[in-house]
Amino acid sequence: MSKRGIFEQWVEFVGSATQKRTFHAVGFDHEIDDSLTALADMFNQIQNSQIWEELISFIISEFIKSLEFRINLQHLKESLSLTGFSENSLSLIYREIEMNSEKDEKRTLNKKNVSSNNLEKLAERSKSKVFIVHGHEEGLKQSVARYLEKHGIKPVIISEQPSGSNTIIEQIEEYGDVDFAVVLMTGDDEGRKKGDRKFNSRARQNVILELGYFLGRLGRKHVAVIYENDVEKPSDFSGILYIPYDLHGAWKVKLVKELKSSGFRLDMNLGL
């Protein structure tokens, strides 16, 4: 406000807040509603319509100036024409709109000498880590891990990472910053519904827990389940890709397709 020469209005704003025994919190570490409340109360202290118009114009123009890339602001120009603002106030905003139209679509990319045409390829290349959730079946875990490595993907397996005296949950949180999760459901446990006599093969409870964790963290489109045919699948987990494990390697084709649809750059013929 000091830039606009309206220090008196600021003093009135502070005095009003003091009189009402209220306070205003503004900043990146506060909720946006707090900043909006402070801005509204500040505007209420401005009785001069010209000063109010200048301040609004200044805020809009500074916001446009802060944009790092070009966006379509035509709708803003149309709305401003209905405000009744003076030509001087509008020209301040229109000048920033014109300067914004000359910026690149993704100016942030040019800082790294990356063209917008390569944005999609860059995003795909950056995907390189897959978390493997597993039970006691060592063979399947190693098959999936080594297959991912053939495609240049780093498999993240908790048992192969330093624990640092952390609990399993803390380790998952630490090493769970991945692009995709493959959950291996093998028949390590047995269970049955109360009243039933037959026991069914089930994955270990930690596997089901970690499946839910990564569904929440990554979203179901970035999680795939590879399961042994006789293993009971959990209920209420609709929309998940279930890939049956087979000795002929058909699971590899389905897994690669899922990874490609998630943004990984892979060769379908590699390692089959």
Sorted by where each begins, the domain ranges of the chain are 2-108, 127-261
Q: What is the mean pLDDT of the chain?
A: 78
For 197-246, the pLDDT digits (tens) are 888 888 999 998 999 889 888 888 899 999 998 898 877 666 788 999 98
Per-residue pLDDT, averaged over 181-194, amounts to 90
pLDDT band of residue 109 (cuts 50, 70, 90) is: very low
Q: Give me the sheet containing 223-227, strands edge to edge.
A: 154-156, 129-133, 180-185, 223-227, 241-244
Residue 224 β-bridge partners? 182, 241
User: Which is higher by pLDDT, 247 or 103?
Assistant: 247
In angstroms, rounded to a whole number, what is the distance separating the alpha carbons of residues 89 and 201?
73
Instruction: Please give, one letter per residue, the 3-state secondary structure of 211-253.
Output: HHHHHHHHCHHHEEEEECCCECCCCCCCCCEEEECCCCCHHHH
> Residues 6 or more apart from 109 whose CB is under 8 A from it?
115, 116, 119
The upper half-sphere exposure of residue 30, i.e. CA atoms within 13 Å in the direction of its Cβ, equals: 12
Rg (CA), the chain: 29
pLDDT of residue 70: 83
In angstroms, rounded to a whole number, what is the distance separating the alpha carbons of residues 41 and 35?
10
Residue 200 β-bridge partners? 191
Q: Is the pLDDT of residue 72 over 50?
A: yes
Q: What sections of the chain are H helices per DSSP? A: 7-19, 32-44, 49-66, 74-80, 87-101, 107-110, 119-126, 138-150, 168-175, 205-218, 250-261
- Taking the CA atoms of residue 32, residue 33, residue 36 and residue 37 in that order, the dihedral angle to the nearest 10 degrees is -150
* CATH label, 127-261, candidates 3.40.1160.10, 3.40.50.2000, 3.40.50.2300, 1.10.390.10: 3.40.50.2300
| Least confident piece of the model among 47-56, 142-151, 174-183, 235-244 | 47-56
Percent of the chain with pLDDT over 70: 69
Interhelix angle 138-150/250-261, nearest 10 degrees: 50
Decide: pTM greater than 0.85. Answer: no
Per-residue pLDDT, averaged over 103-119, amounts to 53
In angstroms, rounded to a whole number, what is the distance separating the alpha carbons of residues 241 and 9?
60
Per-residue pLDDT, averaged over 80-103, amounts to 83
